[in-house]
C-alpha cells in the first residue's frame, strides 16, 4: 500500500481534489467524514461530547447541531481542545479500521488521507509523503464568505485556529497551488499524484499507526 497525507486550511479545496485523485486510481479517506461518523448518535464520541457540552448542542432530530457546537468551541480555545481530544481518538480508531479493510481488499492500494490538521497535530510520520494545498489567506477568506456563506468574523476565527500557511509551506513535502484556475490546479494534481504512485509499497504494519492521539 502507498499512503499519502493531503492537507490544507479550511476552504483551501481538499474536497475539490478528491475526484481528481480518485480518477487516477487513488482511494480517498476523508478525516472530516470520519469526524462526522464518530459523533453520530450511539457512537462513543457522541455520548462524551453531549456529556461535556450539554444537551443544548443537540438538534431537533437528536443529533449534534454542528453550528451550535462550532460556535461554542471556536469562541473558546480550551473547549476546542476538549472537543478535539474526544473525537481524535475515535477518528484514529476508525481510520485504522478503514486502512486495514482497504489493505485486505487490495494490498497494492494507493491511499490519500485528507486531514485538515495534519501539521497542527504533527502527523507527518504517518505518511510516506505530505501534500499541502496552498491558498492565499485573502482568497481563502473570500471563498469562505462568498462560497460557503460564512460571516467574515466567523471565517477569520476558523482560519486563525489553524497553523499559518507560511509554517505549513515549510513542513510540506509537496505543494499544490490552488489560487488560480481549476484547470491549472487539476493539471498540477495529476502530475504530482502520478509521481507519488511510484512510491515504495508498504506492508500493513507499516501503514497502521500504533500511537493513539493524546
pLDDT for the residue 173: 98
Helix (H) or strand (E) holding 175: strand 174-177
10 and 71 Cβ atoms separated by less than 8 Å: no
Question: 182 lies in a domain?
Answer: yes
- CA 170 to centroid of chain Cα atoms: 19
Question: 213 lies in a domain?
Answer: no
Question: 191 lies in a domain?
Answer: yes
Q: Is 13 annotated as a binding residue?
A: yes
Question: 201 lies in a domain?
Answer: yes
Express each pLDDT in 48-71 by its tens digit. Answer: 999 999 999 999 999 999 889 988
Question: 42 lies in a domain?
Answer: yes
Question: 58 lies in a domain?
Answer: yes
How many residues does this entry show for the chain? Answer: 214
Q: Is 155 annotated as a binding residue?
A: no
Residues with Cβ within 8 Å of 27's Cβ and at least 6 positions away in sequence, in order, are 102, 109, 110, 111, 112
Question: 28 lies in a domain?
Answer: yes
State the residue range of the domain holding 160: 2-207
Domain count across the chain: 1
DSSP state of 40: S
Q: Is 16 annotated as a binding residue?
A: yes
Query: Which of 24-33, 36-45, 67-76, 103-112 is predicted least confidently?
Result: 67-76
CATH of the domain at 136: 3.40.50.300
64 and 72 Cβ atoms separated by less than 8 Å: no
Question: 137 lies in a domain?
Answer: yes
34 and 88 Cβ atoms separated by less than 8 Å: no
- CA 39 to centroid of chain Cα atoms: 16
Amino acid at each position: 500500500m502507498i499512503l499519502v497525507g493531503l492537507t490544507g486550511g479550511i476552504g483551501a479545496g481538499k474536497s475539490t481534489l478528491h475526484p481528481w485523485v480518485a480518477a487516477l486510481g487513488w482511494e480517498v479517506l476523508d478525516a472530516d467524514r470520519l469526524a462526522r461518523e464518530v459523533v453520530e448518535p450511539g457512537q462513543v464520541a457522541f455520548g462524551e461530547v453531549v456529556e461535556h457540552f450539554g444537551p443544548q448542542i443537540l438538534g431537533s432530530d437528536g443529533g449534534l447541531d454542528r453550528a451550535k457546537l462550532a460556535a461554542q468551541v471556536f469562541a473558546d480555545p480550551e473547549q476546542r481542545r476538549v472537543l478535539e481530544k474526544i473525537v481524535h481518538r475515535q477518528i484514529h480508531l476508525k481510520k485504522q479500521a478503514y486502512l486495514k479493510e482497504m489493505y485486505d481488499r487490495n494490498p497494492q492500494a494507493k491511499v490519500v488521507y485528507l486531514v485538515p490538521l495534519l501539521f497542527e497535530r504533527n502527523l507527518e510520520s504517518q505518511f510516506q509523503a505530505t501534500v499541502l494545498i496552498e491558498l492565499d489567506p485573502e482568497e481563502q477568506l473570500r471563498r469562505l464568505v462568498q462560497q460557503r456563506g460564512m460571516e467574515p468574523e466567523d471565517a477569520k476565527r476558523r482560519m486563525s485556529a489553524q497553523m499559518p500557511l507560511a509554517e505549513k509551506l515549510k513542513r510540506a513535502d509537496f505543494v499544490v497551488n490552488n489560487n488560480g484556475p481549476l484547470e491549472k490546479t487539476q493539471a498540477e494534481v495529476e502530475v504530482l499524484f502520478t509521481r507519488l504512485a511510484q512510491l515504495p509499497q508498504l506492508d500493513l504494519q507499516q501503514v497502521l499507526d500504533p500511537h493513539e492521539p493524546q
